[in-house]
Homo-oligomer: A and B are copies of this chain.
């Protein structure tokens, strides 16, 4: 217990809840890394796709980045609306539920839960891979290190979000500052062969197919994954939570947008072409600052932000799963909050699933990367569509200009994000996107079954008629007994206290000792309510005949309750426990599989 307190911190009272929530600064440190870390690969993904279509196609990074930045603007505006409407969190799932109905909301919710899990696995292994690339001798420890990091993230989050915020604020803000400084210097510095102003706005000669542009757009849009996290986790902010969440989201949008656009523009300015051994960010740092302190500093901070992107999932998953559990789509255990006021089961399940994925894929999770943009963009589509539909329904209450603006923005945004989903599904189907097409429907079917089960149980257990009262029943207690001693006398006393009828069960392997025991019993004559049953067996183990006999008693008296009472010696030292109680242990586990019979363990405290 003391160890638990050391690891998880002291139990918190309900009224201390406010104290463990976060403000804007800490909130950004928890909620932003997932989105910000996309800057590490967003521009690069676009360049990789365009590079295949020839050097001239690289120009298209500019308009594509502008469209993605526009989409980001739409998303930030939309989610700020959603946060205001749903201060309890839940984002796309909740607005989808209230606007489009259960199917759309389940799709959004399930897609996001999958996405959070994938994010943990992918970002942790990406961080570890970067470290291993720097220190190749660590290679055999890839999986172990990844699993350890997930475990540490889980433990920190079991203590509470605030603690993880403190831990991860430094790398988050350092990453923001370093990328922005690099973008600013990169825009200002004179460069040989720098593109002229004209070349920024004029498409190059020669045509690039629409398909290439769409694919580059959908790949680059992975830069926006993580933007939804704040809308799911509104309650982690201090009061007024929606206000702080909206401010945090606005800041996130500004940082993310300027970092992403800045990176894209200076990549074009410095004629960056994707390379195998250095990322686009590293190439930029090398070109602008040389391979010095800045280059290595940015590399390390990028590594860090990739790894702690996983932490955003630990904030989002437990909250979203608790909201979905409240709607009975998920097991009730995701609703329970422990002594640290966190949804510990969500944290534990998220950690274990991510560890499972890491072990299954042996730390090589690049195959999983295409999967998770799809989930996020499904939830984006549902969120923006819902917002448009909701605004249309409430258009009477809002000013016409504003409502039409929101409807237009929602429709355009939903169309753009739907394009990303479709293009990703089609182009990356064989690379792993098919998994989404398999897992997502399965998850939704499972969630529907869970709800159906809960409803059926609730219907069965519901009592409206208060005239139904508890009524005592006849209880038969079976007490396995080996010899007459203080332990068995105490157990029989307990059985007499509880039951209407007590059966002392004595199992024998041959007739003679059975008769001797029966004679001694008759001489003892303990109580008229106790009957002795001597049961012969041909087998060694007494477990089988006891289980059979109790089953028989339970079967004969279906109107009664059958109870088996087993004594357990309580010893003063732990090691002494192994000297006793083997039978009680075996019998208890045997009856776990025979659920209609109760097993009562009677503790007997030894004086010696």
Contacts and interface: CB of A to CB of B under 8 A. Distances in A.
Contacts of A563: 498, 600
Interface in A491-549: 492-499, 509, 523-524, 526-527, 530, 538-541, 544
A595 B570 contact: yes
Contact of A540 (B14, B332, B470, B602): B14
Interface in A402-422: none
Interface in A448-482: 450, 453-454, 456-457, 459-463, 466, 468-475
B596 A603 contact: yes
Contacts of A52: none
Contacts of A291: none
A561 interface: yes
B561 A338 contact: no
Contacts of A484: 463, 466
A539 B489 contact: no
B579 A453 contact: yes
A569 to B, nearest CB: 7
Copies in the complex: 2
A575 to B, nearest CB: 9
A454 B331 CA distance: 47
A569 B471 contact: no
Candidate in A454, A468, A472, A597 with the most chain B CB atoms within 10 angstroms? A472
Contacts of A463: 484-486, 489
A14 B509 contact: yes
A53 interface: no
A337 B578 CA distance: 17
A341 interface: yes
A332 B580 contact: yes
Contacts of A485: 461-463
A529 to B, nearest CB: 9
Interface in A567-608: 568-571, 576, 578-580, 582, 595-603, 605-608
A539 B606 contact: no
Contacts of A12: 539-540
Give the interface SS of chain A, mostly helix, strand, loop or mixed: mixed
Nearest to A446: B575
A441 interface: no
Nearest to A13: B538
B456 A470 contact: no
A509 B15 CA distance: 10
Contacts of A495: 470
A606 B473 contact: no
A12 B331 CA distance: 43
B523 A608 contact: no
A598 B603 contact: yes
A474 B493 CA distance: 10
A163 interface: no
Contact of A470 (B339, B493, B579, B606): B493
A139 interface: no
A586 to B, nearest CB: 9
A331 B585 CA distance: 15
Nearest to A578: B331
Contact of A497 (B474, B497, B509, B605): B474
A300 interface: no
B493 A331 contact: no
Interface in A80-95: none
Given A341-B540, A450-B579, A605 B596 contact: yes
A463 B488 CA distance: 10
A128 B474 CA distance: 62
Nearest to A527: B470
A544 B5 CA distance: 14
B493 A579 contact: no
A273 interface: no
Interface in A208-243: none
Contacts of A490: 470
B338 A526 contact: no
A261 B486 CA distance: 61
A13 B545 CA distance: 13
Nearest to A466: B524
Contacts of A474: 497
Nearest to A523: B466
Nearest to A452: B608
A148 interface: no
Contacts of A497: 472-475, 561
B454 A539 contact: no
B475 A461 contact: no
A204 interface: no
Contacts of A469: 489, 524, 526-527
A460 B494 CA distance: 19
B461 A487 contact: yes
A524 B603 CA distance: 35
A336 interface: yes
A-B residue pairs, 10 tightest by C-beta: A470-B492, A456-B608, A472-B496, A470-B493, A13-B538, A472-B497, A570-B595, A461-B485, A595-B603, A498-B498
Given A12-B539, A13-B539, 13 more contacts: A14-B539, A332-B579, A337-B540, A461-B486, A466-B523, A468-B489, A470-B489, A470-B526, A473-B497, A598-B600, A598-B603, A599-B601, A600-B600
22 contacts: A12-B540, A13-B539, A14-B539, A15-B538, A333-B582, A336-B582, A337-B540, A338-B540, A339-B539, A460-B608, A461-B487, A462-B485, A462-B486, A463-B485, A470-B490, A470-B496, A497-B561, A498-B499, A498-B563, A563-B600, A595-B603, A598-B603
